[in-house]
Structure 1
Amino acid sequence: MTDLSRHDPGRTCSLVASLAGAPSRSVEELRLLNKVNGALEVRADIVGDLDPATLRDHVSGELVYSLRGMGAGGVFAGSGEQREQRLLAAAGHYDLIELEIGRDTTSRVLAAIPPHQRIVAWYGLSAAGGASGMDLAGLREKFSRMAEIPARQYLLVTHAASAEHALVPLRLLRSLARADVTAFSVGETGACGRLLAPWLGAPVVYGQIGGRAGEAPPIDRLIRDYPFPDVPPVRQVFGIAGRSVHMSLAPRMHNSAYRAIGYPGLYLPIATRDFLTTWRVMANGLAGLGFPLGGGTMVAPYKEAALRLAEVTSGAAASSGAANVLVRTETGWRAHTTDPFGVVGALGRAGIQLTGRKAAVVGCGGAGRGAAAGLLRFGVTPTLVNRGPDRGMRAARLLGLDYVPLHRFVPGDYSLIVHATPVRDELLFGLDRLARDTTLVDLPYGRRQTALVTAARRRRLRVIDGWEVLRIGVARQFRLMTGRSMPDPHSLEHVR
């Protein structure tokens, strides 16, 4: 079998941006798409039949026409005659026309649209009724029928109700070893497979422009977070696991660093609501595809589960009762936590002296416990603060620290406060009585400032935001997973 994925450093893939909103609001994304000579897919079922001549004024790549029906995840509900008329009209102006197998592959349509202009597509998006597309034999049979129709490209999209289902399209790609078939899943862990598919021969990666957030990643993230359109050699896969990780900037930081030092790795999002099962399935499945899972980052609420999964645990992870990094070793998974080092490292880089500080950590989840453990290692004994008493008292017993309920917390008693809850848009405690030399560390990060950072800067307090902590934490995660030093994470100011 020809390996299309690992040993050809010259391979590239095409990026296709599905236009699901007004093109006038997508100028920035279209510019990015043009930089990589990507194609624009017009979702005519959503945006209507746009003027292709006007689109060509803004798009340097090919134009793709898609009139996706409701059974294919689209919204077109017209008659068969209306559908045929629109497809045939589009064929005179678009470079590629997506034809749904069976519905559109009639003798009249095939006579009017030549093979080089066809994308023959099948969507098995019913979680209950799509079982024929969920196993490899069923998917191979489906493709065999599709391949009877000559086309430039073939597209198969399944619905994944589990991590095991999400791996099936990747297994199909590996077994076919063709360069004209794209296959992936939507649903559970689907994004991971969509992004890995080009290393198994898929010629296309689909992103999205405009419209509401959907299954496809925004095209700007697809271009900025991954090496596309290049498909460089990959020897090991890493990932970030959580319930919702699609907006995480960790893939951008890790993948940018891999490219900078020539490391053959790929960092992917692994979205799941069943971490333990998904991690085990993905580890076994990816290894079977030739891409061993070398490790990953865990975000809440999976930091305690990551600790249970490991055969060996670092001292910092054991003391905080949570892990945010798993690394594969010869004897199994080793659990680490970088939370202590992110907070203490950010304080050190800012020149904040810890000696003599009276500290409090607000939030007793994995991040809060890690921050408290880090302060303890450097001679600061923090007080733990939490809204819920059960988690707060459990953390206090684990770390041997005092616990104060949030409603009894007096911020003015402390000169160092670490906020380690996920709350971004409200203040959990007041800042009015804080001394001017108080330092605040706020762990949440995002495109907008948190309420705490905004209020602290307004009062001209010393504040370290989540970005600074993130960069230091990611650099340590990078070294744990790869054994290599990350290029200076503080030079990655664009990573926001």
Structure 2
Amino acid sequence: MARVTSGYGAALGRRARLVAVAAEPEDLTPRSLRGLAGVADELEVRADLVGDPDPSWLRRNFRGQLTYSLRSARHGGHSAAGPVERRTRLLRAADHYELVDLEAMDDIQPELLAAVPARQRRVSWHTSGHAGTAEGRCRAELREASGRLQERFAAMAAVPAALYLLVPPAGGQYGSAAPLLLTGLGRTDVTAFASGPVGMWTRVLAPWLGAPVVFGRVGAPGEDGMPSVGRLLADYGLPALPPLSGLFGIAGRAPGRSLSPRLHNAALRELRLPALYLPFQVDRFSRFWQWGFDFASLGGMPLRGLTVTAPHKQSALLVADVAAPEALECGAANLLWLDEGRWRAATTDAVGALRALALGGVDPSGRTTAVIGCGGAGRAVAWALREAGAGVTLVNRGIAHGLEASSQLGLPYVPLSRFSPAGYDLLVHATPLVEREPFPVAAADGDAVVLEMAYRDPPTALTHATRARGLVGIDGWQVLFVEACEQFRLMTGRSMPETLSLRSICFGLAEQAAGHGLTVSGGSTRTHRVGREAS
């Protein structure tokens, strides 16, 4: 067949080329492939995961360019093919695919280079190993790693190709430097990002730094940190590339499950603000903050604000230059933002709970209240309810943590093992537990109100039990939207557009993606499963 020029050397413009990656057999069903129409520019077949499908059949179901990748175990893939079999499969693919992935430097052989012309080559370098966290390295180490990564690229660039791909593991020798490579090279035929969930933000940001393509799985995200095509569209607005002059994000242990990127980025796009909201997976917040990535070096895109989730809320308060009174009172902050050169800290958990109750027609004044969970969210909610006139009792599984919160807030404490919901007018759940009830809802009074701070689709076990019992329940979706609006206002100085409703942001985009047969968020299934860490 006639070979097609990929065109990677052209100017990037305001749109990246979106590559849909088929990594499991069900990604290659006719419905899945046809659902990519009008969405993906290219389809990459991970032959080490799905085998070698009939190219003619692929072209009948997908109209874009085709890329063939037989990722070896040495490069983080699953192919166990020996040298002869590998060479045979790559040579066969060269007759049918617009791009053939050649691994540096193992596939750089005369026979393969003769059969695969430069316009048809994608020279890639993947390394496997420790995925690390987003704690980063000091700036001197980052610059040194960036220099070494440039040397690695220089060796690869000795072989002419349409596209060069460098994917080191996050937290490894080169992982944190991958974004710096793009800004340093200033080329439009190179993409680089860190692998693993920790490196997801580098994948998303890469096109704005000069990478010509962005990769998304046809199905659910994988362990390599690659988001789904649906999530690239719904959460980040890709492949469109509006101007950027700053970054926001969410820092936590599992930010990939959060809907905050979808909420904030939808508002940023609507208001045409030149910023992007990204997920940062962090284990030790203090180290991330002190030795974290040098965002200012990313072509004029400094970090301007962070939503902070458990267990980093107390650490977030400690790094701030100025803190809001409620954050100081409860000893935790879930928001940091830059204001005239100073980092400010606040907690939006308090306003989230109070406004959600108000929208549900519930006045907390005079109510006998139990707050289950003494993390950052629980402390903030307990403080807010006390200020609103409620009689608050703290409940926590860990006794030491509960006693510490009790002492700090001046509120009574009951261990969870001895807690009964009977006798309380208002029950607030502020822990990340979503799979089972944190307390027996059946024992609650018939007129009790239950406020769930966590959110999930399908509903959390507590929300399900509350509805089954017929109690007044306010779930975490309402809290999420209230908090996101308040966080957006503080970080940007603008209000979220009134045209953006919770359903249109959280589910409308998901339903739109589902119409293309695409999955939006993580998990092993294609259902819309999301959640958040409440405390």
Q: Fold conserved (TM > 0.5)?
A: yes
Maintained 8 Å contact 2:485/2:496 = yes
Maintained 8 Å contact 2:335/2:346 = yes
Inter-CA distance 123–493: structure 2 relative to 1 (3 Å threshold): same
**1:189 corresponds to:** 198
1:225 aligns with 2:235: yes
Identify the range of structure 1 (111-120 vs 65-74) with the bigger mean alpha-carbon deviation.
111-120
**1:121 corresponds to:** 124
1:269-296 deviation per Cα after TM superposition (whole angstroms, max 9, x unaligned): 1012122222334463444542110011
Identify the range of structure 1 (244-253 vs 181-190) with the bigger mean alpha-carbon deviation.
181-190
Q: Which runs of 5+ in 1 are unaligned?
A: 1-7
Maintained 8 Å contact 2:452/2:475 = yes
The CA distance in 2 between the partners of 1:133 and 1:65, in whole Å, is 34
Inter-CA distance 9–146: structure 2 relative to 1 (3 Å threshold): closer
1:456 aligns with 2:462: no
The CA distance in 1 between the partners of 2:105 and 2:71, in whole Å, is 13
1:64 aligns with 2:48: no
Maintained 8 Å contact 1:25/1:210 = no
**2:246 corresponds to:** 236
The CA distance in 2 between the partners of 1:126 and 1:64, in whole Å, is 25
1:90 aligns with 2:93: yes
Alpha-carbon offset, residue 145 of structure 1 = 1.9
Counterpart pick for 1:424 among 428, 434, 438: 434
Given residue 148 of structure 1, which amino acid in structure 2 is its aligned partner?
A
Inter-CA distance 289–26: structure 2 relative to 1 (3 Å threshold): farther
Matches of residues 366-381 of structure 1 in structure 2 within 5 Å? Answer: 366-381=376-391
**1:316 corresponds to:** 326
Q: Which has the higher contact order (CA 8 A, sep 6+)?
A: 2
1:332 aligns with 2:342: yes
The CA distance in 1 between the partners of 2:248 and 2:232, in whole Å, is 17
Counterpart pick for 2:258 among 238, 248, 253: 248
1:149-181 deviation per Cα after TM superposition (whole angstroms, max 9, x unaligned): 22111111112226x943312111111111110
**2:399 corresponds to:** 389
Residue 55 of structure 1 aligns to a residue whose secondary structure is helix
Residue 19 of structure 2 aligns to a residue whose secondary structure is strand
The CA distance in 1 between the partners of 2:249 and 2:417, in whole Å, is 38
Identify the range of structure 1 (27-36 vs 309-318) with the bigger mean alpha-carbon deviation.
27-36
Inter-CA distance 211–465: structure 2 relative to 1 (3 Å threshold): closer
Residue 105 of structure 2 aligns to a residue whose secondary structure is coil
Given residue 372 of structure 1, which amino acid in structure 2 is its aligned partner?
A
Alpha-carbon offset, residue 434 of structure 1 = 2.6
Residue 476 of structure 1 aligns to a residue whose secondary structure is helix
Given residue 54 of structure 2, which amino acid in structure 1 is its aligned partner?
D
Inter-CA distance 26–400: structure 2 relative to 1 (3 Å threshold): farther
Alpha-carbon offset, residue 303 of structure 1 = 0.6
1:441 aligns with 2:451: yes
Identify the range of structure 1 (248-257 vs 184-193) with the bigger mean alpha-carbon deviation.
184-193
Maintained 8 Å contact 2:430/2:452 = yes
Maintained 8 Å contact 2:252/2:280 = yes
The CA distance in 2 between the partners of 1:124 and 1:133, in whole Å, is 20
The CA distance in 2 between the partners of 1:317 and 1:60, in whole Å, is 54
The CA distance in 2 between the partners of 1:286 and 1:26, in whole Å, is 43
Counterpart pick for 2:354 among 341, 344, 364: 344
Alpha-carbon offset, residue 350 of structure 1 = 1.3
1:137-158 deviation per Cα after TM superposition (whole angstroms, max 9, x unaligned): 2211221122222211111111
1:351-377 deviation per Cα after TM superposition (whole angstroms, max 9, x unaligned): 112233111101111111111112122
Residue 276 of structure 2 aligns to a residue whose secondary structure is strand
Counterpart pick for 2:418 among 403, 408, 412: 408
Instruction: Give the paired residue count.
Output: 486
Identify the range of structure 1 (377-386 vs 263-272) with the bigger mean alpha-carbon deviation.
377-386
**2:490 corresponds to:** 480
Identity of aligned residues (%): 44
Residue 63 of structure 1 aligns to a residue whose secondary structure is strand
Alpha-carbon offset, residue 404 of structure 1 = 1.2
Alpha-carbon offset, residue 264 of structure 1 = 0.7
The CA distance in 2 between the partners of 1:63 and 1:341, in whole Å, is 50
Inter-CA distance 390–132: structure 2 relative to 1 (3 Å threshold): closer
Residue 424 of structure 1 aligns to a residue whose secondary structure is coil
Counterpart pick for 2:39 among 28, 36, 41: 36
The CA distance in 2 between the partners of 1:98 and 1:72, in whole Å, is 12
Maintained 8 Å contact 1:342/1:470 = yes
Maintained 8 Å contact 2:20/2:229 = yes
Maintained 8 Å contact 1:239/1:269 = yes
Residue 193 of structure 2 aligns to a residue whose secondary structure is strand
Maintained 8 Å contact 1:295/1:481 = yes
The CA distance in 1 between the partners of 2:351 and 2:398, in whole Å, is 26
The CA distance in 1 between the partners of 2:361 and 2:218, in whole Å, is 43
1:95-143 deviation per Cα after TM superposition (whole angstroms, max 9, x unaligned): 2111112211211111111222111111233459xx9998122211221
TM-score of the pair, normalised by structure 2: 0.86
Inter-CA distance 313–172: structure 2 relative to 1 (3 Å threshold): same
**1:171 corresponds to:** 180
Inter-CA distance 283–168: structure 2 relative to 1 (3 Å threshold): closer
Inter-CA distance 287–98: structure 2 relative to 1 (3 Å threshold): same
**2:217 corresponds to:** 208
Q: CA RMSD in A?
A: 2.3
Identify the range of structure 1 (294-303 vs 213-222) with the bigger mean alpha-carbon deviation.
213-222
**2:280 corresponds to:** 270
Alpha-carbon offset, residue 212 of structure 1 = 7.0
Alpha-carbon offset, residue 444 of structure 1 = 1.5
Alpha-carbon offset, residue 447 of structure 1 = 2.0
1:191-214 deviation per Cα after TM superposition (whole angstroms, max 9, x unaligned): 121211111100111122347732
The CA distance in 2 between the partners of 1:487 and 1:11, in whole Å, is 24
Alpha-carbon offset, residue 54 of structure 1 = 2.1
1:245-286 deviation per Cα after TM superposition (whole angstroms, max 9, x unaligned): 112111111111100111111000101212222233446344
